[in-house]
């Protein structure tokens, strides 16, 4: 079915476009994009879109699709359906699978499984074999097979000499290295952020400095090895924002990301011992949230990611300390981001689109989306002011481990269009 979005606000920041247009997508191609009306055919569905925004398709560069190895939590198809339902036309999947994404055969498996889906999947790969932090993976060969970023995500590369060698190896093709910043010697058996709440609840804490130590070390190594490209995953502390800002001021090629739960929820939510608030890095303090919002506003923080981490109900329904870390986030990201950032005037709509569409692709050196006539449509369409209440039963993800159940958000995904396909969100 072809679609004609009548009087929709089109925002494409990289193209410096922000205007109301009539947008006709026919057979996956932008047939008409103009303030003028189009003479559409009878096979085209007309959608009154005065309350909608069209943007370059949103991209989440930090997603756990769990396949291969943990398909009972999520698989590539269900993860991509969740992504489309949440407003994403592209994702980058993390390598903590079984086997890990550290060999071309696993990359090919993922590419084959995602072929033909509306949401495109770009694989990351491990920096070290089996994510063990000992031997470097064949990064150059993996890049030839389509890997766009390298990380041992979920585990930090603790040995500085291994990380130094990784930067040196990556330099031959200017590959992008990323790190889950955590000094594991300071966080062993942690349950939550170290602070007043952890003391009150008697839970083992994860000190903020554990994140900042590895972040600082890696930035120094990246600089020492010739100003190599480096991306810090899901930063969560005031100190990390400050470290990134200082590194950028010195011209270092450093980028970073933050998740919606780290700018919307504090560690005080854990007082109810709900394991859907347990993640890594953990929820921090109000002071950290304010620093993250400031970092988003001033450009220190480049992009918003979900760190979508599915777990089954039985895995999460255990004592808080024993529960696995992680929450799902693909289907709530637009709602949380609009509610806590745009409607609270932390970011403008243009800035949000930079951080959820333009910047992730730029960091990963993916093609820029161009919205104009005769181009293939790759679009996220959302309603900025539509209120909705989160109902996990409507999620396409196999898992339901979200802390946002029954919360009300303002800003809702409506449609995604990509690869000649269109899907309407059912949230």
Give catalytic residue positions.
Answer: 307
Longest dimension (CA), the chain: 67
Contacts of 66 (CB under 8 A, 6+ apart): 73, 74, 75, 79, 97, 310
Which tokens go with 49? 């879109």
Phi/psi for 136 (5° steps) reads -70, 140
Task: Identify whether the C-beta of residue 33 lies closer than 8 Å to the C-beta of residue 375.
Answer: no
Please give the Cα distance from 67 to 60 (Å, whole number).
17
Distance between CA atoms of residues 341 and 19, nearest Å: 22
Distance CA 96, CA 387 (A): 35
CA–CA distance, 261 with 267 (Å, rounded to integer): 11
333 Rama class: left (phi>0) / alpha (psi -120 to 50) / beta: alpha
* Closest of 57, 65, 94, 98 to residue 82, by C-alpha: 65
Structure tokens at 328: 């799902």
Q: Which one, of 427, 422, 426, lies nearest residue 5 by Cα?
A: 422
- Report d(CA 213, CA 316) in Å as an integer: 30
Which runs of consecutive H residues, i.e. helices, occur in 47-96?
Answer: 76-86
CB neighbour list of residue 381: distance below 8 Å, 6 or more residues apart = 5, 8, 49, 52, 53, 54, 55, 413, 414, 415, 416, 417
- CA angle 138-125-161, nearest 5°? 60
């Amino acid at each position: 079915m072809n679609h004609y979005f009548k009087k929709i606000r089109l925002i494409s920041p990289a193209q410096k476009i922000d205007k109301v247009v009539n947008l006709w997508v026919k057979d996956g191609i932008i047939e008409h994009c103009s303030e003028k009306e189009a003479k559409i055919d009878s096979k085209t569905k007309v959608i009154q879109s005065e309350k909608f925004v069209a943007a370059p398709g949103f991209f989440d560069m930090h997603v756990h699709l769990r396949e291969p190895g943990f398909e009972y939590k999520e698989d590539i198809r269900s993860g991509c359906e969740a992504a489309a339902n949440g407003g994403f036309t592209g994702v980058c999947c993390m390598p903590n699978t079984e086997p890990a994404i550290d060999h071309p055969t696993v990359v090919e498996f993922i590419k084959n499984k995602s072929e033909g889906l509306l949401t495109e999947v770009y694989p990351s790969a491990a920096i070290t074999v089996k994510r063990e932090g000992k031997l470097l993976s064949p990064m150059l060969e993996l890049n030839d097979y389509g890997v766009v970023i390298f990380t041992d995500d979920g585990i930090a590369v603790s040995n500085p000499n291994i990380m130094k060698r990784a930067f040196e190896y990556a330099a031959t093709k200017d590959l992008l290295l990323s790190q889950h910043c955590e000094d594991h010697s300071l966080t062993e058996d942690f349950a939550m952020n170290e602070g007043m709440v952890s003391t009150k609840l008697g839970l083992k804490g994860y000190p903020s400095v554990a994140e900042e130590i590895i972040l600082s070390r890696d930035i120094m190594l990246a600089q020492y090895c010739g100003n190599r490209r480096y991306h810090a995953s899901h930063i969560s502390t005031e100190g990390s924002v400050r470290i990134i800002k200082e590194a950028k001021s010195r011209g270092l090629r450093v980028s970073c990301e933050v998740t919606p739960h780290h700018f919307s929820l504090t560690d005080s939510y854990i007082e109810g011992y709900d394991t859907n608030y347990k993640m890594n890095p953990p929820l921090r303090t109000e002071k950290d949230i304010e620093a993250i919002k400031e970092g988003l506003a001033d450009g220190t923080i480049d992009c918003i990611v979900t760190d979508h981490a599915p777990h089954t109900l039985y895995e999460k329904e255990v004592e808080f300390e024993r529960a696995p870390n992680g929450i799902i986030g693909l289907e709530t990201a637009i709602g949380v981001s609009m509610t806590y950032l745009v409607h609270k005037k932390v970011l403008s709509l243009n800035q949000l689109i930079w951080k959820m569409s333009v910047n992730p692709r730029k960091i990963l050196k993916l093609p820029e989306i161009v919205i104009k006539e005769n181009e293939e449509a790759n679009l996220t369409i959302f309603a900025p002011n539509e209120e909705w209440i989160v109902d996990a039963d409507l999620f396409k993800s196999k898992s339901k481990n979200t802390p946002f159940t029954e919360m009300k958000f303002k800003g809702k995904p409506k449609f995604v269009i990509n690869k000649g396909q269109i899907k309407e969100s059912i949230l």
